[in-house]
Structure 1
Amino acid sequence: MLKIFRSGASSKFLLVFLGLALFAMVVTGFGTGGMGLGDLGGMGDETLAEVEGETIGSAQVRDQVDRQLANARQQQPDLDMAAFLRSGALGEIVTQLVSNTALTVFGREQGLTASKRMVDGEIASIPAFQNLAGQFDDGAFRAALSRENLSEKQLRDEIAGTLISRQLLLPVAGSPKVPEAMALQYASLLLERRSGSVGIVPAAAMGAGTEPTDAEVAAFYKENEGRYTIPERRVLRYAEFGADKVAAAAAPTDAEIAAFYQANAARYGARETRSLSQVVLPDQAAARALAAKVAAGTSFAAAASEAGFSAADTAVGERSQAQFAQLTSEAVANAAFAAAEGAVTAPTQSPLGWHVVRVDDIATIAATPLSAVRDEIAAQIGARKSEEALGALVTRIEDALAEGATMQEVAQAEGLTIRETPPITGSGIQFDDPNFKAPELQPVLETAFDMAPDEDPLVETLVPNQRFAILAIARIVPAAAPPLAEVGDRVKADLVQRRALDRAKAVATSIVAKINAGTSAAQAFAEAERPLPAIETVTARRLDVARPDQPIPPPLAMMFSLPKGKARILQAPNGQGWFVVHLQETVPGNAAESPGLIEATRTQFEGILGEEYANQFGRAVEGGMDVERNQDAINALRGQLLGPGLQ
């Protein structure tokens, strides 16, 4: 709600105590990185930083870079290592590890610990380590660690460090209290109403301008080379296979169909069901007395009623002998299915007590001939055999690859066709041909762009239990800007657009100057050197532009940062032109009669202050420690991550 006052929380310290989800982040590649101490990537690698003698090694940082890049690719599939590092990710990860290590060192110096039992509890609570029933699964635990290239010790150290840091920061962040008077003032500010106008100076209204020269186009391209850079592309080699490849082996034989039919005689053969009623009594004498009453002429329902059983208590309904045996016992079911229709059985014992059963009705179901269910049985057998044969094929291919066979050799042995994609991005786009599509490869693109150039071929799933592919990297095309000759027309059009946008900015700036000098917004637009669209009048409360669940037009948000009577320009999206935003009137709000808003404001501010306290505490802790960064080693790691030619 208070984004208007301050942008959203992003504290690296606050992450320590925001809940157990942090630990799940460690093993799923999501989050801010490890919280542990020491060289978790293995002693002997180059030290990038030290905190009170505790080292942060290049292997540890590399692991964090890989995991965070994988997470970022879930939102940006085309993101490559070069672009990720250009965003400052490496420096931020080192800073996070230094800050979190400082907190953990400080906590241990104060006597804080994380017992094995505490760490075990946190591990058991991580969803990635649980089965479908929500219970800890050691197999899932080991698989997740292997998938993320984490050792159990690494994870335990990270969790222990986080628990110690959280013990420090929870009291700090939970201490702020905001007075009601302060909350009232800010809540009232949220109810403030502002009125003004928004106009636009479109770039399209500025005319084409002079034709750019070749030299000007080349200079513009050089200055803006980054915007034309094509992300890393990869040429993938793959060989698909699926159920069609094992169709012959999976075809059911007549003998298999007949055997299945015989094995399921209870399902397909003639069978009998009976509608039954029963009374279950605790002792044999009582059961014999009830059976005697029925034999003497009392109806079963009346005798049961006299014994305290209602019709609902005695009704069993229609059952097969096997079903009734499951409900009672084999002896009781045998007695019930040996009796004639309308008869009552002698008392028979089960673990539940003594049963007296009445046969209300008998229904006989004729056998289903094999001819009627042959197709159904064939489909079931075929599906099972296909799954087994496909699984065997996958295993055979994986074993061959593991033993050193090439992709070509495996494909030839199994009769598969190897195909090759053109250079595509992580989202499957081919820049040279926008119409190119490889939908069958979408499920494996993330894996393909995580593979090392020299990594052995993998067998990956395209459609679970149905289609698979042998996948390999044929070639990697590093991220680079294409030659100007290939994108010259686009660059020229962009330069023309940029110049039109610049002229539009000059016009918008002159309009703002007139408005700020006292001219009305409508008149300032009317006096512009070119015809412009009419301005629009807008009115809104500050609360309306602070809703996190609704995107707010930037011009409306700007109106709440302007002094009364003033105007300012704002660039329109996609280079369309420039907005001129003018604030005409301000009506103060009063939240005195909105206690809910006051309380919400207080809660929000307490969260913001808690974050700030945690930040300041973390900085103070780090500032009081001996922290050394090895910038040369950090730069060397950056070069290794980028690879040759991109440093």
Structure 2
Amino acid sequence: MLSLFRRGIVSKLMLIVLGIGLFAIVITGFGTGGSGLGGLGGGGGDTIAVVEGEKITTKELTDEVNRQLSRLRQQQPELDMATFLRQGSLEAIADQMIDMEATAAFGRKMGLGATREMVDREIARIPAFQNLAGQFDEATFRRALEQEKISEQQLRQEIAQRMIQRQLMLPAAGSAYVPRGLASQYASLLLETRSGVVGAVPAAAMGPGREPSDAEIQDFYGKNQGRYTIPERRTIRYAVFGRDTLGDAAKATDAEIQAEYQRNAATYAPKQTRVLSQVVLPDEAAARALAQKIAGGASFAAAAQQAGFTPSDTAIGEQSKEAYARLATPALANAVFAAAKGATVGPERSPLGWHVVRVDDIKTTPGRTLAEVRGEIATRIEQQKAADALADVAARIENAIGEGATFQEVVQKEKLAARDTVPVTAAGAAPGTPNWQPPAELAPLLKTAFELEPNAEPVVEVVAPNERYAVMIVTNVTPAAAPPLAQIRDRVKTDLVIRRATERARAVAASIQSKINAGTPPAQAFAEAQVKLPPVQPVTAVRRDIARQGGQVPPPLAMLFSLPRGKARLLPVPNGGGWFVVYLDKIVPGDASKEPALIDAVRGQFNEVIGNEYVEQLTRAIRARSDIRRNEGAFTALKQQLLSGGAAQ
């Protein structure tokens, strides 16, 4: 909602410092030790900056730039390094790294810190490191680090610094306070209603105009080549290998199935679980008194209630013998699982106290024979054998490439079928090749294909984990360029005709706007136009409804809330379709006094916004008092290297 009042106020730094999913935000490697100015100099070097004696190196900044670019390419496959850097990304990332180092150093001076145990707990909470059961998994952890191309030490250092930042910044963010009266005024503004009219001056209503000359078409093409530029295209040669190329090599044998069944005999054996209730008391005398009451005829629930335990306190649910042994002791588990249904066991001692346990129910699951589980065992074995075999093939191919083998030699030796794509963009499109459909296996290869240098050695890429792989090379690179005018002349001519019609439409719309702002009613101003135009349309909107729709609001409707009453303004129709004339006629103020929930919501958002500003102010203050020395020569050299492609990963 508040974006309607003040756009762009929410701090990106706040998201970084206070975010819970640390790994999902930005992982940077810096603070590699050392002190003094090291290689800081005027003409380049390995150090971008020194912050309170800690170096930020060109490699660390380069790695972070590549990681962030890689993440953005997941949503924008055609984004290249040059475009990324033209947006100011290198400067922003460097500033971010410097600010983080400075605030972490300031926090350490204030006595803040993050122990190894604190970092361990933070790592365990990161979803990227958890298995399907939501638990920390070492193998998943290692794979994620490898994918992000960072070491465990880098991650730990990153998390420790962010935890110090949070300790430093959270009090600042949480100290914001907005009076209810101020929030009420802004809440009332959300309930404001505005009414007006919208009229369209379509470019199509202007007619085609005169025929453009060849010189005019050529000139328009020259000045607008950007709109006709086809992104860089690459021709990819690849060969897929997967389970379907292994033949019978991954098939499970009878001996393997039998051995797997025997190794997991406990899994397939009959199982017994028991539904239990228990009371744990601190001393033996109280436990014996409880057991005697039950032996004397009192129900377990009644005796437990007299001792101060409700049914929810005593019920521990269905337990296996092994699980209950971990909960209590092996001896008590043996006794409980030897008792009959309805029996009471105890008192027995454990580290928790004295247990009195009732067997509420006994559940038995029959075992499964080899014949019953043969299919699932075979599937599991074959999946593992296939994964191992494919890993062997991939390793064999990579070793051959490392020894100098060409793509063709590898394909022939492994008896794979190679295929070539047409020239494709990073998104998999093939401009100039109508009706071409990319094969399913191509999409996972595109990212790597557009990171490879032309004529680089072949690489092995994953198509589907543990299922399919591909060995690939880039055989041709077509730079981004506009097609020759002769190939797209009709399109350029049409665009020029539309541009001219749009310009004429703007002149008509501007004349209508002037009349309306001089006092002519909108309907009359449109009727007096030099061309026949569609009638004006009345529009009404509430500011809160505009806020709820986010960016999906028609632009003329949104413009109502930026116009002074009684005035008109022009707005272009998308894709050069003409112009809108938007006129605001009436404003009805809102009253939030009867909507306390809205006031509370606005107040909460204002508190967040102001908290973000406090964080930014604190960060700027820390930066100003910190010893920060930048190596502008090294920064400029790195930027040139990245733009030339020399440091991209």
TM, length-normalised to structure 2:
0.76
The residue that corresponds to 1:643 in the other structure is: 644
Aligned to 1:560, what secondary structure does the other structure show? Answer: helix
1:313-352 alignment, distance < 5 Å? 352=337
CA contact (8 A) 2:22 2:159 kept: no
Q: State the match for 1:244 in structure 2.
A: 244
In 2 relative to 1, CA 638–476 (structure 1 residues): closer, same or farther, beyond 3 Å?
farther
Quick check: which has more Rg, 1 or 2?
Answer: 1
Aligned to 2:265: none
- 395-404 vs 165-174, which deviates more? 395-404
Counterpart in the other structure of 2:395 = 398
* Letter of the 2:608 counterpart: G
Q: State whether structure 2 residue 49 is matched by structure 1 residue 64.
A: no
Instruction: Name the SS for the 1:352 alignment partner.
Output: helix
- Establish whether residue 414 from structure 1 lines up as the match of residue 414 from structure 2: yes
Q: Distance in 2 between matches of 1:487 and 1:645?
A: 35
Q: CA–CA distance in 2 between the matches of 1:198 and 1:646?
A: 52
Determine the structure 2 residue equivalent to 1:440: 441
- Cα shift readout 1:224-280 (whole Å, capped 9, x = no counterpart): 33333322322212112333323355678xxx6799799999xxxxxxx9xxxxxxx
| Contact 1:397 1:410 survives alignment (8 Å) | no
Q: CA deviation at 1:442?
A: 1.6
Q: Deviations over 1:87-122 (max 9, x none)?
A: 221222122223323322332333333333322222
Map 1:276-287; keep pairs closer than 5 Å: none
C-alpha contact 1:257 1:378 (8 A) present in aligned 2: no
CA distance, structure 2, for counterparts of residue 645 and residue 485 of structure 1: 36
Q: Which residue of 2 aligns with 1:497?
A: 498
Letter in 2 for 1:578: W
Q: Distance in 2 between matches of 1:645 and 1:150?
A: 20
Whole-angstrom distance in 1 between the partners of 2:34 and 2:423? 38
CA distance in structure 1 between the aligned counterparts of 2:217 and 2:625, rounded to whole angstroms:
54
Residues 61 and 94 of structure 1 are in contact (CA less than 8 Å); yes or no, is this contact kept in structure 2?
Answer: yes
Deviations 1:526-580 (A, max 9, x none): 1111111111111111111111557211111110111111110111222211111
Partner of 2:338: 353
Q: Partner residue of 2:561?
A: 560
Whole-angstrom CA distance in 2 between matches of 1:517 and 1:478: 53
How many residues matched? Answer: 553
Is 1:246–1:390's contact at 8 Å kept on the other side of the alignment?
no
Q: Verify: 1:146 aligned to 2:143, yes or no.
A: no
Q: Is contact 2:124–2:130 with CA below 8 Å preserved after alignment? A: yes
Residue 454 of structure 1 and its aligned partner are, at CA, apart by 5.8
Which structure 1 residue ranges, 5 or more long, are not aligned? 28-32, 266-272, 274-305, 310-325, 329-348, 357-366
Specify whether residues 248 and 214 from structure 1 end up closer, same or farther in structure 2 by C-alpha distance, changes over 3 A only: same
Q: Shift of residue 53 of structure 1?
A: 4.4
Give the counterpart letter for 2:625 in structure 1: G
| Alignment partner, residue 287 of structure 1 | none
Helix, strand or coil: the match of 1:75? coil
Give, as a single letter, the amino acid of the residue that structure 2 aligns with 1:470: V
| Residue 389 of structure 1, CA deviation | 4.9
| Alpha-carbon contact 1:36-1:101 (below 8 Å) kept | yes
**Deviation at 1:628?**
4.2
For structure 2, the 5+ residue unaligned runs are 40-44, 263-269, 271-296, 301-318, 322-333, 342-368
- Whether contact under 8 Å (1:235, 1:475) holds in the other structure is yes
Task: Pick closer, same or farther for the CA change 1:68–1:208 going to 2, 3 Å.
Answer: same
Amino acid in the other structure paired with 1:400: I
1:215 maps to 215
User: Secondary structure of 1:585's match?
Assistant: strand
Counterpart residue identity of residue 122, structure 1: E
The AA in structure 2 aligned to 1:624 is: R
The answer for the alignment partner of 1:332 in structure 2 is none
Q: 1:64/1:219 Cα in 2 relative to 1: closer, same or farther (>3 Å)?
A: farther
CA contact (8 A) 1:36 1:159 kept: no
Alignment of 1:67-146 (within 5 A): 67-146=67-146
Q: Structure 1 residues 593-602 or 132-141, which shifts more?
A: 132-141
The residue identity in structure 2 corresponding to 1:79 is L
Q: For residues 168 and 258 of structure 1, what CA distance do their matches in structure 2 show?
A: 62
Is the CA contact (8 Å cut-off) linking 1:192 and 1:587 kept in structure 2?
Answer: yes
CA distance in 2, matches of 1:237, 1:118: 49
Measure the CA separation in 2 of the matches of 1:200 and 1:179.
44
Other-structure match for 1:49: 49
The superposition leaves residues 339-385 of structure 1 with CA deviations (integer Å, 9 ceiling, x where unpaired) of xxxxxxxxxx99733669xxxxxxxxxx99x9xx9xx9799858955
- The equivalent residue for 2:233 is 233
The aligned counterpart of 2:473 is 472
Partner SS for 1:234: strand
Per-residue deviation, 1:38:
6.5
| AA partner of residue 640 (structure 2) | G
Q: 1:624: which partner in 2?
A: 625
Q: Does 1:578 align with 2:563?
A: no
User: In 1, are the aligned partners of 2:261 and 2:377 still within 8 Å (CA)?
Assistant: no
Identity between Structure 1 and Structure 2 (%):
51
459-468 or 72-81, which deviates more: 459-468
2:328 match: none
Structure 1 SS opposite 2:470: strand
- Measured in 2, the distance between the counterparts of 1:261 and 1:411 equals 37
Shift of 1:7: 1.8
- Offset of 1:132 from its aligned partner? 2.6
Task: Find the residue that maps to 1:77 and give its secondary structure.
Answer: coil
Change (3 A) 1:541 1:68: same
Decide whether the 8 Å contact of 2:196 with 2:586 is kept in 1: yes
1:280 matched residue in structure 2: none
SS at match of 1:78: coil
| Cα offsets for 1:427-474 (capped at 9, x unmatched) | 111112142222331233233334454654333343455433222333
- Per the TM alignment, residue 612 of structure 1 is displaced from its structure 2 partner at its CA by 1.6
1:415 is displaced (CA, Å) by: 1.4
Distance in 2 separating the partners of 1:517 and 1:392: 81
Q: Following the alignment from structure 2 to structure 1, what is the Cα–Cα distance between the partners of residues 142 and 380?
A: 31
SS at 1:638's partner residue? helix
Q: Distance in 1 between matches of 2:518 and 2:85?
A: 46
Report the residue type matching 2:153 in the other structure. K
Alpha carbons 2:398, 2:460 under 8 Å: kept: no
1:440 counterpart SS class: coil
1:423 offset after TM fit, Å? 1.9
Using the alignment, how far apart are the partners of 2:49 and 2:255 within structure 1? 72
After TM superposition, give the deviation of residue 2 of structure 1 in Å: 1.5
Q: Distance in 1 between matches of 2:625 and 2:375?
A: 75
Two-structure CA RMSD over aligned residues (Å) = 3.9
Distance of aligned partners of 1:262 and 1:159 in 2 relative to their CA distance in 1, 3 Å threshold: closer
Structure-1 separation of matches of 2:61 and 2:260: 60
Cα gap change, 1:595 to 1:102, in 2 (>3 Å): same
Report the counterpart of residue 42 of structure 2 in structure 1. Answer: none
In the alignment, the residues of structure 1 paired with residue 123 and residue 261 of structure 2 have an alpha-carbon distance, to the nearest angstrom, of: 46
Aligned partner of 1:160 in structure 2 is 160
Distance in 2, Cα, partners of 1:351 & 1:565: 85
